[in-house]
Amino acid sequence: MPFTIYVTKDFDQMSKVAAEVVEADIKEKQEKKREYVLGLATGNSPTGVYKHLAKAFNAGRIDPQRIRTFNLDEYVGLPGENAQQRALHCGSYSYFMISELFGFLQKKFLETNVPWGTLIEQHDLAVALTKKTTQYVMQGTDKGKAIVIKNNATGILKMIKEDILDAYEKKIESVGGIDLHIIGVGGRGHVAFHESGIPFEGNRVLLIKLDDDTVANAVKDGHFPSTEQSPRYAISMGAELVYKARKIVLLANGKRKTGPIADSILGAVTCNVPISYGQKYATSGNLIYVLDEEAAAGVLACGEEVQKRGYTVVDMRSVPYEKVSDLAFTRNPLTNRMG
């Protein structure tokens, strides 16, 4: 089934368009049911969207007190003596969400959830992985690996599987699943820490061993002072769970995302480009790409193929910023299409 691709001129317009899509969906569903479930990502891409949403919540256009949130991922192995210190570490995704969204709300969300990676002692995990090699298998064809814990695991591995990985998925299911998930795109087309080469099937919530490049980049980007203090593991939703949401809003900006975006839309569905799962998802779900001009360059260069596949490309670049909010995203497709 075709899906919609919004092309915007820059980060600011991308953020505004995406925020309008999210706000419209929340409004529509809050008219029909009591609670709304919102999936959230971290990273640079959604920060502008979160600022717009905070304004919408604070203005009373949508009600945060009727919303539960679930984040994609969290580190394991953050510096700190206990779970509370690790959760409050400035490099944690819990801290990120407070800094970028939760802390701005005058009325708070009904409930917020971030994967419970800070409950795990990294040293204890590393010891268990060394001593209990028969209780798990490593999956993945690239440097980042999924640590798939077996049903017969004991000790900390059993705790991680049952109380952190399986429990997070069950918590999402218990509230009826995610209505809309905001996601970003990694430089190789990965979503959260579902890295390139990790299989789709069965990997709903993942324990990930981060590759050395990811660890080094976290230090390079200033998130941690040294590789010794940078986490080596993470908890992450896998693509299978991410794409169970009833609607996906995928954000991408910058040249680094051009190739992965084009591959995910025009290439094969492959775990080498995890967001390509969206093509499979679009047969039953509602998939929306919101891209800036640079991230969309590969798609724009293949206009005939995009049209042949039936995708709706909506070119927003000529729409004045102040006019974006006048457009009804959920009920009426935009008329400013390409080609």
Please name every residue paired with 75 in a beta bridge, in sequence order, or none if there are none: 234
Give me the residue label for tokens 């990930």: 208
- The answer to whether residues 42 and 94 touch, using CB atoms and an 8 Å cutoff, is no
* 219-269 confidence digits (pLDDT tens): 887 888 998 889 999 999 999 999 999 999 999 999 999 999 999 999 999
H or E stretch covering 6: strand 4-8
**What one-letter code names the amino acid at 164?**
I
d(CA 275, CA 270): 9
Q: Give the pLDDT score at 180.
A: 98
Residue range 136-164, pLDDT digits in tens: 999 999 989 999 999 999 999 999 999 99
pTM of the model: 0.94
Query: DSSP secondary-structure letter at 337?
Result: B
CA distance 2 to 312: 7
Distance in angstroms (rounded) separating the CA atoms of residues 134 and 225: 35
Structure tokens at 76: 């394991």
Domains of the chain: 4-326 (3.40.50.1360)
Contact status, residue 314 vs residue 334, Cβ threshold 8 Å = yes
Confidence of residue 1 (pLDDT cuts 50, 70, 90): low
The mean per-residue pLDDT over the stretch 285-293 comes to: 97
Confidence of residue 217 (pLDDT cuts 50, 70, 90): confident
Q: What is the pLDDT of residues 20-45, one digit of tens each?
A: 999 999 999 999 999 999 999 999 99
- DSSP conformational letter for 313: E
